[in-house]
Structure 1
Amino acid sequence: MNFEKIEQAYDLLLENVQTIQNLLGTNFYDALIEQNADYLAGSHENEVVATNIASLKQLQLTAEEWRRAYQFLFIKANQTEPMQYNHQFTPDSIGFILTFLLEQLVTEEQVTVLEIGSGTGNLAQTILNHSQKEIDYLGIEVGDLLIDLSASIADVMDSSVHFAQGDAVRPQILKESQVIIGDLPIGYYPDDRIAQRYQVASPNEHTYAHHLLMEQSLKYLKQDGYAILLAPNDLLTSPQSPLLKNWLKEHASVVAVMTLPATLFGAQSMAKTIFVLQKQTDVPVETFVYPLTNLQSPEELQAFTENFKKWKQDNAI
């Protein structure tokens, strides 16, 4: 990976986006989508944008170099036009752990992956760029802007990922996947009529969206597959947790729980934990529980991977 090329690409992309913003009088993110379309077309009527597109093509970036350049662009955009918290990209340190879990839990070389709430597509690209497996990936996302961003970036990167627009809480016609991933949104789902179709639905108030998506994810999961989900730290202690626990007892096994450093999140109320679920089986598995306190420490990450591999071997996973 060439960091000098990433920096050059970031500067060229930023200048293009800001130029297009001024020309069209639009926001940063719509200008980025327009920039991506112009890059794919190979030209633009504005001389600066056209010259920068030619320079970007000459860089011949790898998929990971593209991902890093776009990531820096989103960080820059967030300083002036911040996305709501649930729309921000999953940090790389978490993406690398999810990739490790996928690699360890799935024995097949070809893996079908469904992401619930794919956002900007950064987590998808992180996994594809770093996994040793051949991944057939589909992301489902309800937001118009997010689906346009993720699809346009994937096109520029010539990525094999696919995205579909839809509300993941509502029924979708989707094939079962070996792995479900999701950085689940924190908050309430507004449509009580839809929510009442779920076992985790609250009878007294709006239902937590992450509860509904957790139940929904298992419907799209193969019997021996894994759902690797980021959910709030208080998942099992919140006011609506008894509803979720009743559903878990009947339908799911909690395979692993890994707490994450609170410093990764903007506020303690937004802190999340990694939960790994399987559909309920007759064979009990001892839950792997591990507190991750510093994802920047090579020693801690090494200890985590060794402990997980030992647990996997002891439980014949």
Structure 2
Amino acid sequence: MNFEKIEQAYTYLLENVQSIQNELATSFYDALVEQNAIYLDGETSLEVVKNNHQRLKELQLSKEEWRRAYQFLFMKAAQTEPLQANHQFTPDAIGFILTFLIDQLAKSDQVDVLEVGSGTGNLAETIVNNSRLEMSYLGLEVDDLLIDLSASIADVMASSVAFVQGDAVRPQVLKESDLIVSDLPIGYYPDDAIAQRYQVASSEGHTYAHHLMMEQALKYLKPQGVAIFLAPNNLLTSPQSDLLKAWLKEHAQLLAMMTLPESLFSNPAYAKTIFVFKKQEEGQMQPFAYPFTNLQDQDEIVRFMESFQNWLQDSEI
């Protein structure tokens, strides 16, 4: 990976977005979607954009270099037009941990992956670019802007990831997947009538959206598949946790739980834990547990990987 090329690509992309933003009097994110469309079809009267696109093509960026350049763009945009907390991209440190877990837990070198609530697409591209596996990867996202961003970036990168728009709580026509991944949004689902179709539904007030998404997501999981969720630290102790635990007891089995450092998150209230589940089967096993303290410490990452591999070998999942 060439960091000098990434910095150059970021500079060209940023100049393009700002030029388009000024021309159209629009938001940074809408201008980014437009810049991606122009890169693909070449239709623009802005000479600076045309020239920068030629320079971008001459860089011959790899998919991971493209991803990093776009990530820097999102970080720049956050200074003036921050996305809401649930729409921000998953940090790379977490993305690489999830990639490791997927590589270890996959039953085959060719897997179908479904990401529920795929956001800007950064996590999807992180996993696909860095996994040892051959993946058929589908991202499902309800938000109009986020699906436009993720799909247009994937087109520019010539990524194999596919993105479709849809409400992850409502039933979708999707095939079963070997792996389910989700950096779950934190909050309440607004449609109580839809929520009441679920076992985790609250009888009073709105139901947690992340509970509903977990229940729905497992319906798309193959019998021997694995679901990996980034969920609030208080997932199993929150006010509606009894409803979730009752559903889990019938339908899912906890395989692993890894707490993440609060320093990774903009607000400790948004801190999350990695939960790994499979569909409920007969027999019990000892879940893997690991408390991360510093994801920048390579020695700790190595200890975690060795611990997980040893647990996996002993568990015979």
TM-score class, shorter:
over 0.9
Tell me, which stretches of 5 or more residues in structure 2 are unaligned? Answer: none
Contact in 2 for aligned 1:43/1:53 (Cα 8 Å): no
Whole-angstrom CA distance in 1 between matches of 2:241 and 2:181: 21
What is the SS of the residue equivalent to 1:290? strand
TM-superposed CA distance for 1:267, in Å, is: 1.0
CA deviation profile, 1:173-194 (whole Å, cap 9, x unmatched):
1100000000000000000000
- Spell out the pairing of 1:23-102 with structure 2 (5 A cutoff): 23-102=23-102
- Spell out the pairing of 1:136-151 with structure 2 (5 A cutoff): 136-151=136-151
Contact in 2 for aligned 1:114/1:179 (Cα 8 Å): yes
The corresponding residue for 2:309 is 309
- Spell out the pairing of 1:255-266 with structure 2 (5 A cutoff): 255-266=255-266
The corresponding residue for 1:246 is 246
What is the SS of the residue equivalent to 1:31? helix
The corresponding residue for 2:237 is 237
TM-superposed CA distance for 1:43, in Å, is: 4.9
What is the SS of the residue equivalent to 1:82? coil
Whole-angstrom CA distance in 2 between matches of 1:284 and 1:234: 23
The corresponding residue for 2:168 is 168
Q: Cα RMSD over matched residues?
A: 0.7
The runs of 4+ residues in structure 1 deviating greater than 2 Å are none
Whole-angstrom CA distance in 2 between matches of 1:162 and 1:52: 27
TM-superposed CA distance for 1:286, in Å, is: 1.2
The corresponding residue for 1:178 is 178
Amino acid at match of 2:14: L
TM-score (norm 2): 0.99
CA deviation profile, 1:210-261 (whole Å, cap 9, x unmatched):
0001111110000100000000000011110000010111111000000000
Contact in 2 for aligned 1:210/1:231 (Cα 8 Å): yes
Amino acid at match of 2:47: E
Contact in 2 for aligned 1:142/1:165 (Cα 8 Å): yes
Amino acid at match of 1:300: E
Amino acid at match of 1:105: L
CA deviation profile, 1:160-208 (whole Å, cap 9, x unmatched):
1101101000011110000000000000000000000000000011000
CA deviation profile, 1:265-289 (whole Å, cap 9, x unmatched):
1111100000001000013221001
Tell me, which stretches of 5 or more residues in structure 1 are unaligned? Answer: none
The corresponding residue for 2:215 is 215
Whole-angstrom CA distance in 1 between matches of 2:99 and 2:285: 22
What is the SS of the residue equivalent to 2:204? coil
CA deviation profile, 1:54-112 (whole Å, cap 9, x unmatched):
11111010000000000000000000000000000000000000000000001301010
What is the SS of the residue equivalent to 2:258? strand
Whole-angstrom CA distance in 2 between matches of 1:17 and 1:269: 33
Whole-angstrom CA distance in 1 between matches of 2:261 and 2:67: 24
Whole-angstrom CA distance in 2 between matches of 1:301 and 1:215: 31
The count of residues paired between Structure 1 and Structure 2 equals: 317
Contact in 2 for aligned 1:42/1:54 (Cα 8 Å): no
Whole-angstrom CA distance in 1 between matches of 2:31 and 2:228: 33
